[in-house]
Structure 1
C-alpha cells in the first residue's frame, strides 16, 4: 500500500509541468502531461487521504473559456471583489487578477487544489486567496462570481445554480463557463460568448470542445 503524501506542493511539482494554457497562453499552469498516470497515482496515494480526483491538474474547457472572456472583457472584474468558485487550478482567478480585480478568492474543497492555486498564482505573479470551505449558500459580498465546469453532477448543479441565482438577484455579476455538461440549466441562462477550446482527449474524448460563457437570466 502506498504511503499518503504529506507535501502537496512537492506532489504537484513532481506530477505536473508548468506550461501555457491553450486558449489563454498569457497564463501558465502546473498541469499533467497525461491524464491517466496522475489519475491512477491519486487513486493509489491521495485516495488514502479521502481526496477527490486531481481536477486541479488540468485546464478544463469551462475554465479556459471563462478566463479568456475575463481577460478580453476586463470590465467584468475591474476593481471588484471576485469569487472563483470550484477553482481547481486557479486559472479563472488568475485571469481575474490580471484583468484588474481588487482581490480574488479561489474556493475549492480539495486541499491539493488549494496548493495548486497558490503555486499557479505565484507562477503568474498574482496573489490569490485560497478558500477551502464549502461556500454554497453563503454570500460574502462579492461583486463578481465566476464558476467554470460546475454542471457535471445533477444534485450539485442544482444546488450551485440556485445559490448563484440568489447572488445574481442581489446584484452580483455571475458568469458560468460550460462546455455542454449534461446538467447545465440552459433554459435559465443567457449566452454571452462562445469559444472552441483545445482540451485533453483522454478526459473529453475530443480535441476541441465548444464552450460557452453564460449568465443567469433575470427571471431565473
Structure 2
C-alpha cells in the first residue's frame, strides 16, 4: 500500500493510527497530520485529483463504526456486508462487535487491499468481494458510509434493502431522505487525517432501513 500511495504522493507515507472517535480501532492512514496541522494545499490538490480514499478514515465511517461498537446487538451473529469499505473501518467495527461473518464489497482493488491490511492490524477476519449481488444474497445486515459523494450511487440504496436491515451514514447530501430509510440522528465528525473540509461535511447523518 505504501508503493501505491507513493505513486500518487511520493513524499507521503502511511502510519498506523488510532481514530479520534473509535480509538480502539487502528488504521494504516496517510501520516501527514502528526502535529495537529491541516494537510498542505499541494497534497490536498493531488488527493482530490486522484483520491486514495482508503488512506483516510472519512467522517461518516467513524460515526457508523462507533454506532456498531455501541450497539453490538445489531450485528451479533449476523452476516454483515459493508459496501464501499474505504479503509475498512466499518467492516472492522462489525467484526469487533460480534458479527458472524463480514464481507467488504468494493470494485476498487486498492480499497479491498487496504481493508485486508487494516483487518490484519486489528486482528479480525473480513472477506473481500467485488460482486455486490452475490454479497447481498447472503447479507443479514448491510452497512455503507460515505458512498454518496457520487450521486449515481443513490440507486444502490434500494438494492441494499434486499437485506433485512441497512445502516447508512452520509455527510455529503444535506437534504438526503431516501425512501424506506428513517433518520436516527446527526453527529459531528471530521475525516482523519483532517482534510480541512468545509464544515458542512462534518455533520454525519445516520439512517436505518428495516422491514
- Do Structure 1 and Structure 2 share a fold, with TM-score over 0.5? yes
TM-score category of the 2 structures, normalised to the smaller one: 0.7 to 0.9
Aligned Cα RMSD in Å? 2.8
Q: Distance in 2 between matches of 1:73 and 1:155?
A: 30
Q: Which aligned pairs between 1:151-190 and structure 2 lie closer than 5 A?
A: 151-157=148-154, 159-165=155-161, 167-168=162-163, 172-181=164-173, 184-186=176-178, 188-190=180-182
TM-score normalised by structure 2 residue count: 0.80
1:64 aligns with 2:62: yes
1:136–1:96 CA distance, 2 compared to 1 (3 A) = same
Contact 1:38/1:54, CA 8 A, preserved across alignment? no
Match in the other structure for 1:46: none
1:184–1:85 CA distance, 2 compared to 1 (3 A) = same
Contact 1:9/1:116, CA 8 A, preserved across alignment? no
Q: Distance in 1 between matches of 2:127 and 2:137?
A: 13
Q: How far off is 1:205 after superposition? A: 2.4
Structure 1, gaps ≥5 residues long: 1-7, 44-51
SS of the residue corresponding to residue 139 of structure 1 reads helix
Paired residue total: 197
Q: Distance in 2 between matches of 1:122 and 1:113?
A: 14
Q: How far off is 1:139 after superposition? A: 3.0
Structure 2, gaps ≥5 residues long: 7-11, 33-38
Q: Distance in 2 between matches of 1:98 and 1:137?
A: 23
Q: How far off is 1:194 after superposition? A: 2.8
2:122 to 121, 124, 127: 124
- After superposing the two structures, state which structure 1 stretch, 178-187 or 143-152, moved more: 178-187
TM-score normalised by structure 1 residue count: 0.77
1:202 aligns with 2:192: no
SS of the residue corresponding to residue 125 of structure 1 reads coil
Q: Distance in 1 between matches of 2:77 and 2:45?
A: 38
